[in-house]
Amino acid sequence: MGDPNLAPNARFTYRHYRTWPDSERWELIEGRAWAMSPAPRTRHQVISGRLSRWIGNFLEDKPCQVFTAPFDVLLPEADESDDEVDTVVQPDIVVYCDRSKLTEAGARGAPNLVVEILSPSTSKKDQHEKFDLYERHGVGEYWVVDPGNRSLMVYRPRPDGRYDEGELRESVRDYGPIASRILEGFAVDPEELFAE
C-alpha cells in the first residue's frame, strides 16, 4: 500500500506519503491521495513569488514566518502520531506565527494564513475540498488567488468558526487594496499583484 498510483481507492497516511518518490508531488486529504501535477504554470509561479516576497518582507523582524510549496502541512484530527495523520497538504503559501508548530519536515497544525493560487488542475480542489479543510481546522485566513480572472478572495472565520462569504478584489475594477486581519498592516493591491 505504498504507491497511490497503484491503489487509487486506498486510504493513505503520512507514513505512506513519506515513502513516495521525491520526483512526484502529492497531497492527502482525509486519506485520499491527490496528484499535484502537472507543475504550475509560469503565471502561477510569478504571482506566487511576488506574493511570498511581499509577505516575507513584511514579516521581517516579526515572529511569523512565510513558507512556499513544496512545504508539508500536516493537519491532524486529534493527537494521533504523525505516521497516522491522513491529511497532508502543500499550500502555495503559508504563514505560521506559532513556531512550535514547525517541524524539521514542515509543520503540524493549522497555519495562520493560507494562500492557494488557482490553476486548471487544482481549481476545484482549492475552492471546495481545501476550503472545507482549512475552515474545519481553523486556518485564520484563506486567500484564493485567481490569475485567470485577476481576482483575490479572502475568507475569514466568523465567531462560529465558519468562513464568511469572502472579501473580493479584482484588478479590473477600482476596488483598491485588500488588507489582512491576521497580518495587521499587510495589504495587497490586485493591480500590482497581477501586473504583467
Q: What is the pLDDT of residue 38?
A: 73
Q: What is the pLDDT of residues 80-115, one digit of tens each?
A: 999 999 999 999 999 999 999 999 999 999 999 999
Give dist(CA 170, CA 151) in Å, integer: 4
Q: Per-residue pLDDT averaged across 38-54, rounded? A: 91
Q: Which is more confidently placed, 85 or 125?
A: 85
Which residues have a Cβ under 8 Å from the Cβ of 4 and sit 6 or more positions away? 10, 12, 16, 20, 26, 33, 35
What is the C-alpha to C-alpha distance for residues 60 and 154, in angstroms, rounded to an integer? 23
- pLDDT given at position 3: 59
Please tell me which residue, 124 or 92, carries the higher pLDDT value: 92
126 within 8 A of 103, measured Cβ to Cβ: no
- The model's pTM is 0.92
* Most distant pair of Cα atoms in the chain: their distance: 52
pLDDT at 53: 98
Q: Can you give the pLDDT at residue 172? A: 67
Cα separation, 98 vs 138, in Å, equals 14
The helix/strand count (H/E) of the chain reads as 5, 13
Question: Has residue 60 got a pLDDT over 80?
Answer: yes
Per the prediction, the chain carries an average pLDDT of 91
Residue 24 and residue 171: Cα distance in Å, rounded? 34
Angle, vertex CA 64, rays to CA 86 and CA 119, nearest 5:
55
- Go through 11-28 and write b for each residue having 16 or more CB atoms within 10 A of its CB, e for each that does not: ebbbebbeebeeeeebbb
Separation of alpha carbons 140 and 161, rounded Å: 9
- Tell me the average pLDDT across 109-131: 89
What is the structure's pLDDT at 1? Answer: 46
For residue 196, is pLDDT > 80? yes
